Amino acid sequence: MRHVLAGLVLSSTLVAHAWDGQPTHIYGVNLGSWLVLEPWMLPQEWLDMGGQSCADDCWTCIATESSFAKAYPDTVDTTFAQHWDTWFTQDNVNTLKAAGINTVRVPLGYWIVEALVDRSHESYPRGGLKYLRRGLGWLKDAGIQAILDHHALPGVQTPGQMFTGNCTSDVQFYTPYNYHRALVWTAVMTALSHLDPDFGSVFAIEAINEPIMNATQTPNYGTFQRNFVQVIRAVELTLGIFVPSSNLSLSVPLSVSNNFTAALSATSSATIFPVEVQAALLAAVPILLEIGVASGLQTIFEASPFKRSRTSLVANFMDVNWQYDNPSNPADVAIGPQAYDNHLYYSFGGVAAADPTSYLISICNLSRIQADAAVGDSPLWFGEWGLSTEFNATDEFLYKWADAQKLAYSKGAGWIYWNFKTEISPLTNGSALARQWSYLEGLKLGFLNQDPAALHDPDVCVPYMNSTTNSTNS
């Protein structure tokens, strides 16, 4: 995000062959506020559930899943089950499929793996995994691929944000204890992605959503990146999955060839992996056994041959340029397929002057794809973007704004819109929020095309190319 280099071109060949069997370009949406709820996106439903709207910062009232669970310990699970059941539905999948969407990014909290929650001081709703499995099954049937996005990390990765599930200034993710819990989460999600039929749509796992941008405040994040990759590959090697560009090899004892969890336990002692990886694999075993019993996967996990032909998952990271002040580069720890994510919202300021011309000059001369390619962070997709602005945007501008962003992001691996929908209610001024934040509403209003690869005006950027304006971080 901070490095701007010109003159480098990311070839379409690199994008097309970054991971075998996947679409050449990603045209996607986020399933935000489903399994990690952000009240600003559904303010009336949140109040109806029993939440609150904070007059000040989000830690001052019931504005996150954590604060809600603490306020309503006896009813939180039932209340959230109703939300999970209705916010993302089969009808939504059908609409997205008809609109040409080929990818969804699924924001998840660490508490989706309930055994990782320390109930002595952490509170979150329980039961979300059931709805995740159902939703992924719908997506698989529709032929829409999924990214499991670790959106809300144990200990909280970024201060003062609803999307972490616990709005606080006390950031504790960047510690050995919480790095460990995140690695266990990764092992569990990798195993489910390969073994649970409902997870058949999953092609990538994202390590962490939006870490603190100042790299001096994320100690040992580079080590976590290395361990994240190796946890995924350790599970895959246990499953007998070929990992491209890997020198790692692993022999699974014949005695456990029909018992995946026993084989994973054996892998946890393999000295080819760092001790942090070994510990995460071992800790994942009883959690998988528990999930197996609860989800009807016991035979698959414990009493079935598990070595079958599968494709290795894409390890996904926020790109190195998301951070500044000498960040670690996830490209340095790549083993097998890997891809990178950048998020770009002009409405939060700091990107371009707050007027239509400056926005279009900035996006039409965007250099983030080239800057990332220069340091090995490719393929790159834009995992969050939208039509929101710092000014009152006309309909005429939003047609151009949608086209220009899609054009810019499609020069990389593609784009994933935030969000698939938002609430429409008096508290959102009718459709005012959805107009610039909801993909489904954008389709209805015509700003976004039914064919996601199409543009209203393919020459939208021609008048703005090679222009300059008062902009930063482009």
β-bridge mates for residue 146, sequence order: 104, 202
Q: Please check the confidence at residue 408 and state whether its pLDDT lies above 60.
A: yes
Report pLDDT for 397: 98
pLDDT, tens digit, for every residue of 344-398? Answer: 999 999 999 999 999 999 999 999 999 999 999 999 999 999 999 999 999 999 9
Residue 248: the pLDDT is 85
The predicted pLDDT at position 17 comes to 39
Structure tokens at 69: 């669970």
Task: Write down the residue that tokens 């501008």 correspond to.
Answer: 397
- 3-state SS class at 61: coil
What is the pLDDT averaged over residues 185-200? 98
Dihedral pair phi/psi, residue 342, rounded to 5°: -130, 150
SS3 for 405? helix
15 versus 404: which is more confidently predicted? 404
| CB contact set of 449 (below 8 Å; sequence gap of 6+) | 443, 455, 456
At residue 18, the pLDDT reads 47
Residues 152/158/160/163 CA torsion (nearest 10 deg):
-30
Output DSSP code: residue 385.
-
Burial of 199 (0-12, 13-18, 19+ CB in 10 A): buried
Going by their DSSP bridges, the two strands 314-318 and 103-109 should be labelled as unpaired
Residue 185 and residue 317: Cα distance in Å, rounded?
15
List the Cα angle 205/209/212 in 5-degree steps: 145
Mind listing the pLDDT tens digit for each residue in 63-120?
999 999 999 999 999 999 999 999 999 999 999 999 999 999 999 999 999 999 999 9
Q: Is residue 343 pLDDT above 50, yes or no?
A: yes
Name which of 47-56, 238-247, 405-414 the model is least confident about: 238-247
> At residue 14, does pLDDT exceed 80?
no
Contact in structure between 233 and 336 (CB atoms under 8 Å): yes
Evaluate if residue 179 carries a pLDDT over 60: yes
Give the model's pLDDT for residue 254: 87
What tens digit of pLDDT does each residue of 216-243 get? 999 999 999 999 999 999 999 999 999 9
CA 404/CA 401 separation, integer angstroms? 5
Q: Report whether pLDDT(402) > 60.
A: yes
Task: Look at residues 376, 310, 385 and name the one whose alpha carbon lies nearest to residue 339.
Answer: 376
In this prediction, residue 10 has a pLDDT band, given cuts at 50, 70 and 90, of very low
Average pLDDT over residues 323-349: 97
Residue 85 one-letter amino acid: D
Could you count the other beta carbons within 10 Å of the beta carbon of residue 296? 11
Over residues 23-55, the pLDDT tens digits come to 889 999 999 999 999 999 999 999 999 999 998
The sign one gets for the Cα dihedral 163, 164, 167, 169 is negative
Question: What whole-number percentage of the chain has pLDDT above 90?
Answer: 89
Listed in sequence order, the DSSP H helices in 157-274 are 176-195, 221-238, 260-267
